[in-house]
A and B are shown apart, each in its own frame.
Chain A
Amino acid sequence: MRLLLGSLFALAVAATIGLGMTWLVLTRGTAYGGVTIGAWTAWPRTGTLGIDPYSRAMVARSGELPIGSGDGVAFHARADDAGRPFDGRCDVVLAGMTPPARFWTVTLYDLEGRLIANSVGRQGFTSQEIVRRSDGSFEIVVGPRARPGNWLPTGGTDRYVLVLRLYDTPVGVATRSGRDAPMPSVIQKACP
Chain B
Amino acid sequence: MIRLLLWLLGGVLLGGIVHLATVLMLPGMATQDAYSRLTPIAPVNAVTAVPPPAADKAVMPYMDPAFAIAVCRYDLSDGPLKFSVPVSLAYTSVSFYTRFDVAYYAINDRAAGRRVIELELMTADQRGELPGDEEITAADRLIVESPTNTGLIVIKALAPEPGLLSAARNAVAAAQCVPQPG
| Complex interface residues of chain B between 20 and 75 (CB less than 8 A to chain A) | 21-24, 26-27, 30, 32-34, 36-37, 53-56, 58, 60-66
Number of interface residues of B (CB under 8 A): 64
B87-95, B125-133, B171-179 - the one binding chain A:
B87-95
| Alpha-carbon separation in the docked complex, A129 to B15 (Å) | 51
Number of interface residues of A (CB under 8 A): 65
Picked from A19, A48, A60, the residue with its CB within 8 Å of the CB of B33 is A60
Is A68 among interface residues, defined by CB-CB distance under 8 A?
Answer: yes
Q: Are A18 and B18 in contact (CB under 8 A)?
A: yes
| Alpha-carbon separation in the docked complex, A168 to B106 (Å) | 11
Q: Are B12 and A13 in contact (CB under 8 A)?
A: yes
Residue of B23, B54, B63 with highest tally of chain A CB at under 10 A: B23
Is B160 among interface residues, defined by CB-CB distance under 8 A?
Answer: yes
Contacts of A68 in B (CB 8 A): 93, 95-97, 103, 105-106
| Complex interface residues of chain A between 44 and 93 (CB less than 8 A to chain B) | 46-49, 51, 53-54, 56-57, 59-72, 74
Q: Mark B99-128, 1 if CB is under 8 A from A, else 0.
A: 011111111101100000000000000000
Residue of A11, A107, A126 with highest tally of chain B CB at under 10 A: A126
Is B79 among interface residues, defined by CB-CB distance under 8 A?
Answer: no
| Alpha-carbon separation in the docked complex, A152 to B95 (Å) | 29
Picked from B3, B103, B162, the residue with its CB within 8 Å of the CB of A65 is B103
Is B17 among interface residues, defined by CB-CB distance under 8 A?
Answer: yes
Q: Are B10 and A10 in contact (CB under 8 A)?
A: yes
Is B81 among interface residues, defined by CB-CB distance under 8 A?
Answer: no
| Alpha-carbon separation in the docked complex, A71 to B161 (Å) | 19
Picked from A62, A65, A114, A167, the residue with its CB within 8 Å of the CB of B154 is A65
Can you pick out 20 interface pairs between chain A and chain B where the beta carbons lie within 8 Å of each other? Answer: A6-B4, A10-B10, A14-B17, A17-B15, A21-B16, A22-B18, A49-B104, A53-B23, A57-B23, A59-B27, A63-B32, A64-B60, A68-B95, A70-B106, A103-B158, A114-B55, A123-B65, A124-B66, A168-B91, A168-B110
Closest 10 CB pairs of A and B: A18-B18, A13-B11, A113-B61, A68-B106, A17-B15, A70-B106, A14-B14, A128-B160, A117-B55, A10-B11
Which chain A residues have a beta carbon within 8 Å of chain B's beta carbons? Answer: 2, 6-7, 9-19, 21-22, 25-26, 46-49, 51, 53-54, 56-57, 59-72, 74, 102-103, 105, 107, 109, 112-118, 123-124, 126-129, 155, 163, 165, 167-168
User: What 18 new A-B contacts, CB under 8 Å, besides A10-B10, A103-B91?
Assistant: A11-B11, A13-B15, A49-B147, A56-B27, A57-B26, A59-B34, A60-B27, A63-B60, A64-B62, A68-B106, A71-B95, A72-B93, A74-B62, A126-B160, A128-B160, A155-B55, A165-B64, A168-B110
